[in-house]
Amino acid sequence: MYQGYTKRWRKLWDSDLANHPNASHLFAYLIDHAAWKETETGYRYQCVILKRGEVLIGRESLSKKIGLTSRMIRTNLNYLKTTNRITIKTTNRFSVISIINYDIYQSNEDNNDQQNDQQSDQQATSKRPASDHIEELKELKELKPVCVSRPKRTRKAITYTDEFESFWSRYPRGVGKGEAFIEWQKVIIDGYPAEKVIKAAGEYADQVRREGRDDSKIRHACRFLKKDFWKDYCFKEKGIA
């Protein structure tokens, strides 16, 4: 989705954006990362279809990428919206930004070239002798229908990260690894250090061994992560628990 080039007017530097560097920086990012054609993407395990000129953002992740705080991003998005440069569709998990007049910044020349090529092919075909078309029809009539079986779906193998494997090796109950990995990724995306979560797993395992708990009374790792129980085993350090 991010291949190719975009175009920007030099006139932008004579506009109000010249006096709003943060808005200009944010607008440039949105232009460069917008889908140039309808594109399927994902955000935290949710499939999203982006139309041409749209870009999906989460304020926290965008803040890390462009160096603006979440509040600054919200303020400058509102500025771009009130100046009729973008529209915003917001959910409780992410926002989809649509760039108004996107064709100004992303040329349609590639699409035009493709259409010209198709027209040339059609013209060349129309000039072929009628005998060629007759022979093709004969060949088509002689073809026998073939029954094609639909391929069986196969589950993709999950590739676990080294940090998660370290967490899993310390956790006292080895049930539901795939579900636990999904919750692990959410915790890491939210900005918590992996080493703290790994350490919490070890502390919980030590407690379980000391108390001699039966397996049925040990939380699944998925629930341990999802319900933030792991924070109770990080010695309540500032900013973590």
- Provide block-wise average pLDDT over 10 residues at a time, the chain (241 residues): 58 74 88 86 76 88 89 92 91 87 70 51 54 59 58 71 92 91 89 90 91 89 87 61 40
Task: Give the phi and the psi of residue 41 in degrees, each rounded to 5.
Answer: -135, 180
Q: Are 40 and 48 in contact, with CB atoms under 8 Å apart?
A: yes
Give strand pairing partners of 55.
Answer: 97
Helix, strand or coil, per DSSP, at residue 49: strand
Ordered by where they begin, the domains of the chain are: 10-104 (1.10.10.10), 162-233 (no CATH)
pLDDT at 191: 84
- 222's CB contacts (< 8 A; 6+ apart) are 176, 179, 180, 182, 183
pLDDT at 205: 92
Task: Give the phi and the psi of residue 73 in degrees, each rounded to 5.
Answer: -65, -45
pLDDT at 239: 44
Q: Enumerate the H helices of the chain as residue ranges.
A: 21-33, 59-66, 70-82, 109-126, 130-142, 162-170, 177-189, 194-211, 221-226
Write the CA distances from 185 to 119, 165, 188, 192, 196, integer angstroms: 48, 12, 5, 10, 14
pLDDT at 32: 86
pLDDT at 238: 41
Task: Output b/e per residue, 34-66; b: 16+ Cβ within 10 A.
Answer: bbbeebeeeeeeeeeebebbbbbbebeebbeee
**What is the CA angle 194-158-63, rounded to 5?**
45
pLDDT at 149: 61
Please tell me the pTM assigned to this model.
Answer: 0.42
pLDDT at 162: 92
pLDDT at 20: 86
Q: Are 67 and 115 in contact, with CB atoms under 8 Å apart?
A: no
